[in-house]
Structure 1
């Protein structure tokens, strides 16, 4: 999911002004207690941040933009790198990402 698509979904769900407030002020347990903005500026994938929003605000998210939650828990890129110690790792989404340091 691209960042622009993420913010379009947020605006459609909460309204443009309130979406920015939710992203800045609300911490989500699915993001280890971080706000949406902190997670996006950190090492969380936008798709997994959107999944956390869908889980936290389920009924509020319109069904046509709601995505089914992944079968596994969202994983940070850094956690995957630490565990596997590889230059290229396979993320839970199935995509292969290059290590930022190599």
Structure 2
């Protein structure tokens, strides 16, 4: 997963306004007490960041990949 794909999913699954605020402000244990933005800036794999964010928000696996049936779901790790 690339950064662009990550942000596309944030916008689609979480909503562009809400998802972007969460990415800047929500501190996640799974990301070593960093926000999504901080983790990405620290070169944590976008796939790992996406799973950490979805896990923290309780997004089910079936809803994590948006509405594009052709979009492959990246494996967990």
- TM (normalized to structure 2)? 0.76
Partner of 1:40: 40
Alpha-carbon RMSD: 2.4
Larger radius of gyration: 1
- Quick one: distance in 1 between partners of 2:60 and 2:14? 8
Moved more, 18-27 or 56-65: 56-65
**Alpha-carbon contact 2:31-2:49 (below 8 Å) kept:** yes
1:12 matched to 2:7: no
- TM (normalized to structure 1)? 0.59
5+ residue gaps, structure 2 = 67-72
How far is 1:27 from its partner? 0.4
Partner of 1:89: none
The DSSP-based 3-state class of the residue aligned with 1:34 is coil
How far is 1:59 from its partner? 3.2
- Quick one: distance in 1 between partners of 2:14 and 2:49? 15
**Alpha-carbon contact 1:40-1:46 (below 8 Å) kept:** yes
How far is 1:38 from its partner? 0.2
After the TM superposition, which residues 40-79 of structure 1 pair with which residues of structure 2 at under 5 Å, given as runs?
40-59=40-59, 63=63, 65=65, 67=73, 70=76
Task: Give the structure with the larger strand fraction.
Answer: 1
